[in-house]
Amino acid sequence: MRKIEKILVPIDFSQDSARALGRGLTLASETGAELIALHVVEPSRLRDYFSAYLEAREVSPLPNTGDPIISMDVLMQDKSRALTNFIEKTAQDNIGVKITKRVTLGSTFKEIAAMTQTENIDLVVLKLRKRFPFTDFATLRILRFMRAFSCPVLLDTPITGERVAAKTPVLLLRPAPEENIG
């Protein structure tokens, strides 16, 4: 296996992504790798983001200019600040790991796959969430998307109990090039 120089951890501000960030920081510290924290703003969620922003302005102590229009730049800067705050809160005992923060607009898995190629990522660290009623089906769907990643994926599964120990990570290796989905 090649030396790990760059680790990608997708961040959605959940407790699961905080745990993935913790695991990624531990690995980066042990290997001397750079950690890239990526937050993807989904276009389908833009209405939610803008609504939350406007609601926050209405209760803000700052004067309201009456102009409800915000730009995409403001949204991306806000998400960048949120990512910085999330990392600072989560990685309080960060020991000399270089952390690069990225915020991008697009489909989450497509952006992760693109980042693995453009940044020459050596490992992606993910923690699956238990937000679906049929977790196993959601996991299979996610695993299908992971075939497009250009590197191995360290995956902490949400499955607990007798089937799999709660803290057992799974390392998924990159498929052969002809198996990549396009």
- Domains of the chain in start order, with CATH, are 10-179 (3.40.50.620)
pLDDT tens digits, 77-89: 989 999 999 999 9
Write down the pTM of the prediction.
0.73
Task: Give the residue-averaged pLDDT of 132-159.
Answer: 64
pLDDT of 119 reads: 93
Measured over the CA atoms of residue 171, residue 86, residue 82 and residue 159, the dihedral's sign is positive
CA distances from 58 to 53, 72, 73, 112 (A): 9, 19, 20, 35
